[in-house]
């Protein structure tokens, strides 16, 4: 019994030793796996550190090599562009930032002490303006529709109680102040990039003129990039209208540009027996022999076979559609044609010059019969008016960088084929 007990005890001790050995072996394997994992992680960390340090070292080496004596650093090119808007170019949206109306040079409006209102091309398109008077409807300080039923062919514009003077690309036109009776010019607004109103007197810039203000019409000019627009419209009183506008470079170097704009319509009016018809076309070609020289030739032809009614609405009429004359007798037609040029040259960073010239002829005929005893026939032709404008601009270092002295000479249009030179020279220190 004692041996048996001793034998049993011996077997139990052997099993415990086996279990202890197995536990030690398992622990040893775990330690080995952990050690291998740590070694692999350390190796990967060293590889990543070497890859990161290699470009930095190469960069430092290149920098050290570049800064050595006799070595030239690589050129740094900085590219930028200024605001694309100019005083005569297109405006994106309804708010213009630059104008020539206040100084006869490309000047920010915010730096001109006189009030300037600009109706942009986008605003005219949104309004659907069919005349210059309609385009100025929402402009403060001017009453553009004094004629009531006819604002397309009779542009009588009033500001501060006076008829305003009308200029076209900075040159005077035979408007209401320069014309006689119904013999006044009128323009299709589709031909213009913008319409500007300079509020108040401006005789120092434009010579003797209206105290109310000055309206300047700015034509569409050729563009560097191709532009093509064609369209048709219809409206009240059976209106049918078609138009197109095309522009772009002619040669591959972009030294010769063109623009061709045309518009025509036929419509009835609110007045019985009265219609309106118009056809207008304006070709323009521009030469740029160098970056400092620009020469532009422009022409315009506009005919109104039926120019609408030529009298205002009197209070004695029974209705707005009543026609007081004789439909089989009365007539009113107009034709105007012009050709001119604009030359600009920059001598250097200080001095530049611009000259504008336009020759314009205007014809108007009308016949009216209101009774057997009241018959009037008129045929008016404006004498060939030639208008010339010269502007010299210089930037002097004796004044702050923002200031630009300008000297301008204005020569009004000719009367009776004889140029009347009344130079008005001025020197104004205005903000550029």
What is the DSSP code string of 222-241? --SS-EEEEEEEEEGGGEEE
Domain assignment present for 307:
yes
Residue 85 has pLDDT above 90, yes or no: no
Domain assignment present for 7:
no
pTM of the model: 0.70
Residues 6+ apart with CB under 8 A from 4: none
Cβ–Cβ < 8 Å for 318, 326? no
Domain assignment present for 133:
yes
Cβ–Cβ < 8 Å for 198, 216? yes
Separation between Cα atoms, residue 315 and residue 145, nearest integer Å: 17
Confidence bin at 12 (pLDDT 50/70/90): very low
Nearest to 231 by CA among 245, 243, 247: 243
Cβ–Cβ < 8 Å for 157, 142? yes
Domain assignment present for 106:
yes
- Position 75 scores a pLDDT of 87
* Rg over CA atoms, the chain: 41
Which has more pLDDT, 260 or 51?
260
Cβ–Cβ < 8 Å for 393, 404? yes
Helix (H) or strand (E) holding 344: strand 331-346
CB 15: neighbour CB atoms within 10 A? 9
* Rounded average pLDDT over 82-98: 85
Separation between Cα atoms, residue 272 and residue 254, nearest integer Å: 51
Separation between Cα atoms, residue 165 and residue 210, nearest integer Å: 6
Which has more pLDDT, 268 or 174?
268
Confidence bin at 195 (pLDDT 50/70/90): very high
| Pair of tokens at residue 109 | 């409006």
Confidence bin at 430 (pLDDT 50/70/90): very low
Best-predicted range by mean pLDDT (162-176, 339-353, 412-426): 339-353
Which has more pLDDT, 425 or 29?
29
% of residues, the chain, pLDDT over 90: 34
Domain assignment present for 36:
no
Domain, as residue range, for 121: 98-431
| Domain count for the chain | 1
Domain assignment present for 184:
yes
Domain assignment present for 104:
yes
Domain assignment present for 137:
yes
What tens digit of pLDDT does each residue of 26-44 get? Answer: 666 666 656 676 666 666 6
Confidence bin at 179 (pLDDT 50/70/90): very low
CATH number of the structural domain spanning residue 250: 2.170.130.10
């Amino acid at each position: 019994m004692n041996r048996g007990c001793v034998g049993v005890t011996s077997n139990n001790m052997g099993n415990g030793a086996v279990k202890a050995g197995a536990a030690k072996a398992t622990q040893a394997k775990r330690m080995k796996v952990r050690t291998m994992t740590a070694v692999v992680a350390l190796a990967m960390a060293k590889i990543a550190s070497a890859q990161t340090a290699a470009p930095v070292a190469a960069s430092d080496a290149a920098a050290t090599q570049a800064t050595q004596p006799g070595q030239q650093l690589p050129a740094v090119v900085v590219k930028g562009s200024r605001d694309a808007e100019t005083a005569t170019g297109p405006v994106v949206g309804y708010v213009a930032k630059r104008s020539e109306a206040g100084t006869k040079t490309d000047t920010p409006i915010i730096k001109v002490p006189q009030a300037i209102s600009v109706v942009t091309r986008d605003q005219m398109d949104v309004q659907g303006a069919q005349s210059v008077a309609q385009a100025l409807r929402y402009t403060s300080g001017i009453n553009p529709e004094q004629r009531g039923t006819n604002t397309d062919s009779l542009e009588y514009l009033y500001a501060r109680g006076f008829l305003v003077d009308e200029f076209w690309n900075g040159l005077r036109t035979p408007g209401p102040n320069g014309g006689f009776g119904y013999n006044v010019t009128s323009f299709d607004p589709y031909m213009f990039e913008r319409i500007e109103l300079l509020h108040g007197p401006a005789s120092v810039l434009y010579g003797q003129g209206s105290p109310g203000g000055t309206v300047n019409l700015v034509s569409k000019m050729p563009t560097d990039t191709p532009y093509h627009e064609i369209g048709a419209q219809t409206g009240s009183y059976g209106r049918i209208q078609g138009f197109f506008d095309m522009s772009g470079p002619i040669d591959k170097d972009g030294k010769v540009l063109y623009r061709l704009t045309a518009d025509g319509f036929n419509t009835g009016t609110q007045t019985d027996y009265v219609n309106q018809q118009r056809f207008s076309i304006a070709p323009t070609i521009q030469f740029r022999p160098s970056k400092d020289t620009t020469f532009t030739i422009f022409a315009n032809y506009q005919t109104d076979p039926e120019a609408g009614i030529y009298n205002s609405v009197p209070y004695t009429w029974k209705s707005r559609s009543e026609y007081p004359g004789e439909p089989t007798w009365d007539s009113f037609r107009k034709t105007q044609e012009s050709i001119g040029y604009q030359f600009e040259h920059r001598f250097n960073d200080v001095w530049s010059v611009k000259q504008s010239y336009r020759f314009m002829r205007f014809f108007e005929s009308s016949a009216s019969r209101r009774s057997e005893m009241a018959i009037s026939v008129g045929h008016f032709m404006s004498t060939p008016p030639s208008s010339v404008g010269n502007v010299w601009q210089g930037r002097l270092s004796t004044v702050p960088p923002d200031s630009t002295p300008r000297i301008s000479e204005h020569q009004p249009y000719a009367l009776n084929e004889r140029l009347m030179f009344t130079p008005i020279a001025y020197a104004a220190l205005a903000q550029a």
